[in-house]
Amino acid sequence: MLPPAPSRRAFVPFVSVTNIMSLIHRIGLEEMMSGMADYIEEDFRRWELFDKTPRVASHSEVGVIELMPTSDGAVYGFKYVNGHPKNAAEGLQTVTAFGLLAEVDTGYPVLLSEMTVLTALRTAATSAMVARHLAPGSAETMALIGNGAQSEFQAIAFRAICGVNRLRLHDIDPAATRKTIANLETQGFELIACATAQEAIEGAQIITTCTADKQYATILTDNMVGAGVHINAIGGDCPGKTELHKDILNRADVFVEYPPQTRVEGEIQQMPDDFAVTEIWQVITGAAQGRRDDRQITLFDGVGFAIEDFSALRYLRDHLTDTGLCAQLDMIADPDDPRDLFGMVQRAHGAAA
């Protein structure tokens, strides 16, 4: 009997940082985030069929390392991601990530990718997709508080998806604001640097907070927030790390991804366990109401959920075809006889001798 042909599945497509950047330039950043937002929205519409679990977090005094798994029954995915606010001062990224898709039928991986850049895209795509459902329709001005790695991606996604064209920027470190302005000044925004968060939110219909500090921070207090705004709070995303005073949560209608995770990690960790929230997937499917009127404060307490990473990897996989922008990793041991793993190892020794 002939041995089975070597499986093509022994090689797993791998998207490096260099290749993800090439793909972004080939597709265009705005188009890529708009497309990704549509994939995320599509997966939120079929929310109920996914396996869901709060991410598995390993906390230390300086940060967190997390695994984020999910499956739609046909494809399984996970992301490894860290969050270390002190890293920036050491010349390192606060957030780094990589992720994988596998087919449920065989368990074989079908895609491995860098996800540090992809996370910035998917986070911005999620924020803007949610705002498309919750923010005032006329919103053109966004306050962008926290001008670190995520900030430009947030800005560009909000323009592509929500039509924001004016940014009021603030960071406790003025160098961060200067960096964001330098990166965005050729992108067609009106850009206003602000000395305080209070100044930044003046006249803004959307407020994005994406600061990193491992503490119960108070970037916004209740008296600062006027009627009718949409708040996109994405920086508070692990226990002991929040951005908003809890009085804002009492005044706003709060929308979340997956309550069992957000109650531990999000702004609502400050609130009682039965604090009322709406799951954003229900707004998307029409099962729950989003914005009721133009005086309502809507708040997206975004912590980042596994399905968003799954959608981003799914988008990536669909857009890699014929690009040549992936390497084939020799990652799966593939003996001719599946039961003869030992024999394969032995023969390799013979070949090496």
Q: Are 12 and 288 in contact (CB under 8 A)?
A: no
**CB-nearest residue to ligand NAD:** 148
**In angstroms, rounded to a whole number, what is the distance separating the alpha carbons of residues 110 and 13?**
7
Using CB under 6 A, pick the residue from 147, 261, 269, 311 that binds ligand NAD.
147
**In angstroms, rounded to a whole number, what is the distance separating the alpha carbons of residues 353 and 342?**
17
**In angstroms, rounded to a whole number, what is the distance separating the alpha carbons of residues 301 and 333?**
42
Return phi, psi of residue 51, to 5°.
-70, 130
Closer to ligand NAD by CB, 125 or 325: give it. 125
Q: Is 95 in the site for ligand NAD (CB under 6 A)?
A: yes
Using CB under 6 A, pick the residue from 145, 225, 231, 325 that binds ligand NAD.
145
**In angstroms, rounded to a whole number, what is the distance separating the alpha carbons of residues 263 and 266?**
6
**In angstroms, rounded to a whole number, what is the distance separating the alpha carbons of residues 175 and 173?**
5
Binding mask 235-254 for ligand NAD (x = CB under 6 A): x-x-----------------
Stretch touching ligand NAD by CB under 6 A, among 16-24, 248-256, 277-285, 302-310: 302-310
Q: Smallest distance from the beta carbon of 182 to ligand NAD, in angstroms?
A: 14
The interface with ligand NAD within residues 191-210 (CB under 6 A) comprises 210
Stretch touching ligand NAD by CB under 6 A, among 2-10, 87-95, 289-297, 321-329: 87-95
The interface with ligand NAD within residues 317-336 (CB under 6 A) comprises none
Q: Is 43 one of the catalytic residues?
A: no
The interface with ligand NAD within residues 24-83 (CB under 6 A) comprises 83
Closer to ligand NAD by CB, 243 or 297: give it. 243
The interface with ligand NAD within residues 208-227 (CB under 6 A) comprises 210-213, 217, 219
Q: Is 94 in the site for ligand NAD (CB under 6 A)?
A: yes
Closer to ligand NAD by CB, 109 or 304: give it. 304
End-to-end CA gap in the chain: 29
Closer to ligand NAD by CB, 234 or 299: give it. 234
Closer to ligand NAD by CB, 207 or 326: give it. 207
Closer to ligand NAD by CB, 71 or 119: give it. 119
Closer to ligand NAD by CB, 109 or 262: give it. 262
Q: Smallest distance from the beta carbon of 250 to ligand NAD, in angstroms?
A: 21
Stretch touching ligand NAD by CB under 6 A, among 104-112, 130-138, 147-155, 312-320: 147-155
The catalytically annotated residue of 43, 237, 301, 309 is: 237
Q: What size, in residues, is the chain?
A: 353
Using CB under 6 A, pick the residue from 10, 172, 320, 344 that binds ligand NAD.
172
Q: Are 183 and 191 in contact (CB under 8 A)?
A: no
Q: Smallest distance from the beta carbon of 199 to ligand NAD, in angstroms?
A: 12
Q: Site residues (CB under 6 A) for ligand NAD?
A: 83, 88, 94-95, 119, 123, 145-150, 170-173, 176, 210-213, 217, 219, 234-235, 237, 302-304
Active site (catalytic) residues: 237
